[in-house]
Chains A and B, each alone.
Chain A
Amino acid sequence: MGEPVIRFEKVSKAYGSQPVLKEFSLDISQGEFLTIIGRSGCGKTTALKLVNGLISPDSGRVLVKGEDVAQADPVRLRRQIGYAIQNVGLFPHMTVEKNIAYVPTISGTAGWGKAERRKRAQELLTLVGLPADLGGRFPRELSGGQRQRVGIARALAAAPDILLMDEPFGAVDAITREQLQDEILRIHRERGLTVLFVTHDIEEAMKLGTRTLVMEEGVAQQCDAPSRVLSAPATEFVEKLVCRRREPEVRV
């Protein structure tokens, strides 16, 4: 499979006396869609933020394309990695178009001058399934689902080959959520991205991942194809997690 795009080498991280990652090691190859699942506080978000250097490890190393994140220039590194978060974090004072063009603009990327910006933003809006004429609107004028899509478009604008997503569909209704999941699957296929996707929804993790990582108390419980996680849960915790799926509970 060649060299991994992202490699965790015995990474440990604690907040105060509270350990969130314990000697965590993992290789992620080009083109994988890794879903990371676990309860809140299990270290999944921490693992994600280690990749773009928003958090630095207490011990161990994180390598992105063979380069140690701790040694890399954080600004340059982050501009190559798409980043989408739960609360979207769209800039309220910028139009949708300017939001989408943010990374190329701050990087001074060629081909994103004022004249081309509109066309590029429209292409990205279409890619994430939004009407192309939405560019002039402000984030507050959009629905929750539309904002999530703009967030994804913004993360994709600089054409990164790695995409980090932290519960990006956490705040939308079930139907919109399903549409967004299909959308991200299509984008992953079309663009050959490597995606790290944090979620607390087991069904989402199973549906999207080419591999699913189950975390609990800072330790990887299992990292396998979703079908293997289902058919052969490695630990009791994983078994409990996947069993909770299936039929919805009904009160009456």
Chain B
Amino acid sequence: MMELLSSILGLYEERADWFAGLLADHVTLALCAIAMSLTIGLLLGIWISEHPRIAPAVMGVCNVLYTIPAISLLGILIPFSGIGNETAVIALTIYGIMPMVRNTYVGLTTLDGDILEAARGMGSTRLQTLLRVKLPMAAGVILAGVRNMVVMTISVAGIASFVGAGGLGVAIYRGITIYNPAMTAAGSILIALLALVFDLILGKLEKYFKKRGS
């Protein structure tokens, strides 16, 4: 065990530049997917919360997509978008939409009815109610979804190298193929740390919004 740990540390020291490059690639890849999931998921969530009739159908589709194992989703996409970062981003985006849609929808549809009626009774337009009252009040719940999605995207991005994308998955994959467990572990640890850091930051933000919204 100690041996593995020291060889991991040795790897970080020896190949610091390589790992730094992979880390940067990983962050870029994940952030691209996160931005897309965030935008699409948020808009979709808002849309179905304003049109509750279509909500079950949309949620159903998102749920089905979410249950596809990440690795097979990557495989399914190869015929359409080839190999490389593009496929990885598409797969990660599809994957990240579900927690975003779910939390946005739940956040927007479980608000205090009295407050919404007050907003309506005072003459808010639909858009004003959404932007000034509903979204700020749901911010805590939505942010919990963002946090969930970000952590998941960062970790799932680790297998993106199977379709030729960059990122820390490259170290994991290489470690497996050349039978170097230390290298696999070194890549995994960095992914875990990265996810942890993002989780911590978003947790702080979520706490702030939850406090404000209650």
Q: Which residues of A contact B (CB under 8 A)?
A: 49, 52, 54, 74-80, 83, 85-93, 102-103, 106-107, 138, 140, 154-155, 164
30 contacts between A and B (CB under 8 A): A49-B121, A52-B121, A54-B117, A54-B120, A75-B123, A75-B124, A75-B125, A77-B123, A78-B120, A78-B121, A79-B122, A79-B123, A86-B114, A87-B114, A89-B112, A89-B114, A89-B118, A91-B115, A91-B119, A91-B137, A92-B137, A92-B214, A93-B136, A93-B212, A102-B122, A106-B122, A106-B128, A106-B132, A140-B214, A164-B121
Q: Is the interface of B mostly helix, strand, loop or mixed?
A: helix
Please give the number of chain B residues whose Cβ is less than 8 angstroms from any Cβ of chain A in the complex. Answer: 21
Give min CB distance, B135 to chain A, whole Å: 10
B123–A78 CB distance below 8 A: yes
Give min CB distance, A85 to chain B, whole Å: 6
B117–A85 CB distance below 8 A: yes
Bound-complex Cα distance A138 to B132 (A): 16
Q: Closest 3 CB pairs between A and B?
A: A89-B118, A78-B123, A79-B123
A54: which of B115, B121, B139, B213 is its contact (CB, 8 Å)? B121
Q: How many A-B residue pairs have CB under 8 A?
A: 69
A91–B114 CB distance below 8 A: no
A83–B132 CB distance below 8 A: no
Residues 101 to 153 of chain B near chain A (Cβ within 8 Å) = 112, 114-115, 117-125, 128, 132-133, 136-137, 139
B121: which of A80, A83, A91, A140 is its contact (CB, 8 Å)? A83
B117: which of A89, A106, A138 is its contact (CB, 8 Å)? A89
Give the residues in chain A near B115, CB-CB below 8 Å: 89-92
Give the residues in chain B near A80, CB-CB below 8 Å: 123
B118–A83 CB distance below 8 A: yes
Give the residues in chain B near A91, CB-CB below 8 Å: 115, 119, 132-133, 136-137
Give the residues in chain A near B125, CB-CB below 8 Å: 75, 106
Bound-complex Cα distance A145 to B213 (A): 21
Closest to A140 in B: B214
Give min CB distance, B114 to chain A, whole Å: 4
Give min CB distance, A154 to chain B, whole Å: 8
Give min CB distance, B50 to chain A, whole Å: 17
Give the residues in chain A near B128, CB-CB below 8 Å: 106
